[in-house]
Amino acid sequence: MSMTTKAVVLLSGGLDSATALAWASKEKGWQCYTIAFDYGQRHHIELAASLEISKKFQAKKHQVISVDLQAIGGSSLTSDLDVPKDQAETSTIPSTYVPARNLIFLSLASAFAETVGANKLVIGANVVDYSGYPDCRPEFLESFAKTVALGTKAGVQGADFEVVAPLLQLDKSEIIKLGLALGVDYAMTRSCYDPKEDGSPCGHCDSCYYRQQGFAELGQADPLLNRSE
């Protein structure tokens, strides 16, 4: 009888991470542990979504870790900088980049993985983010897996850690298509970087733009953005 494969899934509550969880849970059949981060982000509403999505896909455990990235700043998501609007598809790294965020989050996720006996770290990084965020590059993810193996007790004792990014080569419409096939209810997800006071998306930040574009390419309306003004 084969042992159950355990995976820690970084689950922000957004479109990509929800799809990554569905893939790990439904397509791969892994026993999933989800982890979310309260890091001082202005789109704090995503944390409630993360919990509900974790429950929907029957994760073994959902862990929220607080880490104050406002103390570091340097990002429009964690400081008083304005979130850029209607500026998607520019060639520069956007101000929504949070310094070393995936490095920090994957480090904490790997510690969580070690305590629950998981050797898969699942992250929803994809080519859209890769174009602007250096910590979504495949070279970084591959390097981090080697670092985990060298820097943890489990790794030294032979655990074969793997950082899995199932969405890496998919665009937004392909991600949405995959998620719909796996039962993701995208009305549950929250992606906007600068939501309104009532929690509805702004409709103009990069995240809203790519999300809306992905649904449009499938001939559908985003279940969140089509309610925004």
Predicted confidence at residue 81, as pLDDT, reads 81
Q: Tell me the per-residue pLDDT of 32-58, one tens digit each, with 9 for 90 and over.
A: 999 999 988 877 889 999 999 999 999
Q: CA-CA distance, 98 to 193, in Å (whole number)?
A: 12
Q: Would you place residue 222 in the very low, low, confident or very high pLDDT band (cuts 50, 70, 90)?
A: very high
Q: Would you place residue 226 in the very low, low, confident or very high pLDDT band (cuts 50, 70, 90)?
A: low
Domains defined along the chain, listed by start: 6-227 (3.40.50.620)
Which tokens sit at 6? 């355990």
Q: Tell me the per-residue pLDDT of 55-99, one tens digit each, with 9 for 90 and over.
A: 999 999 999 999 999 898 888 888 888 888 877 766 678 888 788
**Interacting residues of 8 by C-beta distance below 8 A, sequence separation 6+:** 32, 33, 34, 35, 109, 110, 112, 113, 116, 118, 120, 121, 122
* Mean pLDDT of the 203-218 span: 92
